[in-house]
């Protein structure tokens, strides 16, 4: 049976596995990559530490923890390389992109340049679609918070289906989230990871990316 691409964001309450890759005191993410063929057979599976919160994560946390007001906004560089004035809001950190939305949620690319704290966008975006070099972005889904004796986490998930006719190698993965001011949402990259050696998604197969944001005691 062919895999179906999720079209709407979804909240899951399913019990998620809790990998232990972070050290006590660290707040970060674990990145899990799974490639499956049309029948659901796993052809590649990797779990690694996400290394690269970018400055925008800290800036959005600052905006929300401080409750930066509309009349004195804070400027954050968006994914289009424009400084945007934003303030506290109900949309800060929103990552719930719909299917096909490459402005919000987990994003993939082919760039290989090592991340820096000042990165504001993925290096070479893989577009949504079925043409050569494109992947079909599903809706972003979420796994509810869970914890064990040492670790608390929640999960952000997106599927990328390859119907392009050829294999595509993903070298970078990012998380784009929202910030807001004056009835306008802007989008900011809060995480960017480069995958050593890349991960290949053959034609007809699907990559599932799980970012498990964690804190460890």
Partner 1 sequence: MLTVKLVLEKLDKEGKPLQRREQPCRSFVRNFMALLYVAHAQVPSSNPHNMTDVGGTTRPVDGSSGDIYGLYHYRKSNLKIGSLPGLGEMACLAGATNGGGIYPIGITIQGEKIGIQVGTGSTAPTPTDTAMVIRIAHGRNAGQLEYGGCELIGITFSEPTGEFTIRRYFTNASGGSITVNEVGLHAAGTQIGTAAWPFLIARDVVSPGITVADGEILRVIYVPQITV
Of the candidate residues 108, 177, 199, 201, the single one contacting partner 1 (CB under 8 A):
177
Q: How many helices (H) and strands (E) does the chain have?
A: 1, 12
Tell which one of 4, 7, 43, 150 touches partner 1 (CB under 8 A).
150
Q: 91 vs 200, which CB is nearer to partner 1?
A: 91
Torsions phi, psi for 38 (to 5 deg): -60, -25
User: According to CB under 8 A, which one of 54, 79, 208, 210 is a site residue for partner 1?
Assistant: 54
Sole binder of partner 1 in the list 42, 58, 82, 127 (CB under 8 A): 58
Q: How many CB atoms lie within 10 A of CB 133?
A: 13
Residue 214, both tokens: 């964690």
**Region 5-24 residues binding partner 1, contact defined as CB under 8 A:** 9, 11, 22, 24
- Site mask, partner 1, residues 80-119, x = CB under 8 A? --------xxxxxxxxx------------------xxxx-
**Count of residues binding partner 1 (CB under 8 A)?**
55
124 Cα distance to chain centroid:
15
DSSP secondary structure of 8-70 = S-EEE-SPPP----SPTT-EEEEEEEEEE-TT--EEEEEEEEE--B-HHHHHHHHHHHHT--T
Residues that bind partner 1 (CB under 8 A): 9, 11, 22, 24-28, 49, 51-55, 57-59, 61-62, 64-67, 88-96, 115-118, 142, 144-145, 147-154, 156, 177, 180, 183, 213-215, 217
């Amino acid at each position: 049976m062919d895999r179906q691409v999720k079209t709407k964001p979804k909240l899951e309450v399913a019990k998620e596995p809790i990998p232990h890759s972070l050290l006590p005191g660290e707040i970060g993410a674990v990145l899990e990559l799974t490639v499956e063929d049309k029948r659901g057979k796993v052809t590649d599976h990797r779990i690694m530490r996400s290394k690269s919160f970018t400055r925008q994560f800290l800036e959005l946390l600052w905006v929300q923890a401080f409750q930066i007001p509309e009349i004195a906004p804070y400027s954050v560089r968006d994914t289009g390389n424009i400084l945007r004035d934003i303030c506290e809001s109900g949309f800060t950190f929103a990552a719930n992109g719909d299917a096909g939305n490459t402005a919000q949620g987990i994003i993939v690319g082919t760039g290989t340049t090592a991340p820096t704290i000042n990165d504001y966008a993925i290096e070479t975006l893989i577009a949504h679609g079925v043409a050569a070099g494109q992947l079909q972005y599903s809706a972003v889904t979420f796994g509810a918070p869970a914890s064990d004796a040492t670790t608390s986490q929640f999960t952000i998930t997106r599927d990328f289906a390859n119907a392009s006719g050829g294999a595509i190698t993903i070298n970078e993965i990012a998380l784009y989230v929202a910030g807001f001011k004056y009835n306008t949402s802007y989008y900011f990259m809060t995480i960017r990871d480069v995958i050593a050696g890349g991960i290949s998604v053959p034609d007809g197969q699907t990559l599932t990316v799980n970012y498990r944001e964690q804190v460890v005691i």
